[in-house]
A = this chain, B = another copy of it.
Amino acid sequence: MPKDRPATRIQKKNRAAILEAALEVFSAHGFRGATVDQIASEAGLSKPNLLYYFPSKEAIFTALLSELLDTWLDPLRALDPEGDPLEEMLAYVQRKLQMSQDFPRESRLFANEIVQGAPRMLEALSTDLKDLVEEKAAVIEGWMTAGRLKPSHPKHLIFSIWSLTQHYADFDVQVRTLMGSEDPFDAAPDFLDTFYRRMLTPA
């Protein structure tokens, strides 16, 4: 393991390659299903070489998680309390859907982990994520009591957005199998826009 001196050119390159490879492998097989050898070979390194940069499989995984979680929550963070309520919500849905299209591996990585009880993420869930959700749920609740959105349960509403958008990434195989040649992402933006307009447009 390199000392804590400033990272060298080679360190930067290899760490990045490892995390990219880890994303590929972990998202496809889950933590337990992924092997260090797989990740190393995907990154173009030998196994001992990979373990020179990260002390263990677990360390790679948690480094990857913490690197990605922030980005993953950006769309929700960007929900602007000062903006127009309906447009803010619809824009949030579209940002989240775009993430599913552009970063399906990240979505599946989290899905894998959470489905299995999130043993390595519980802390992040119950601190960072929980705070953010409380904050934004309050904003949405405010909009609803002000009559600027049709009333509903704010947290369930947020869950519904996660669920509907991430479904296209997490269940990609199923969705594509059932849609035949048609690309799910062609119709999804319109579908979700319509869905949430009907759900949220105040009377």
Q: Which residues of A contact B (CB under 8 A)?
A: 28-33, 108, 111-112, 114-118, 122, 125-126, 129-130, 133, 150, 152-153, 155-157, 159-160, 162-164, 167, 170-171, 173-175, 177-179, 184, 187-188, 190-191, 194-195, 198-199
Contact = CB atoms under 8 A, between A and B. Distances in A.
Contact of A125 (B160, B178, B191, B194): B178
Contacts of A178: 125, 129-130, 133, 155, 159
A177 B125 contact: yes
Contacts of A184: 156
Interface of A is mostly: helix
B170 A159 contact: no
A115 B108 contact: yes
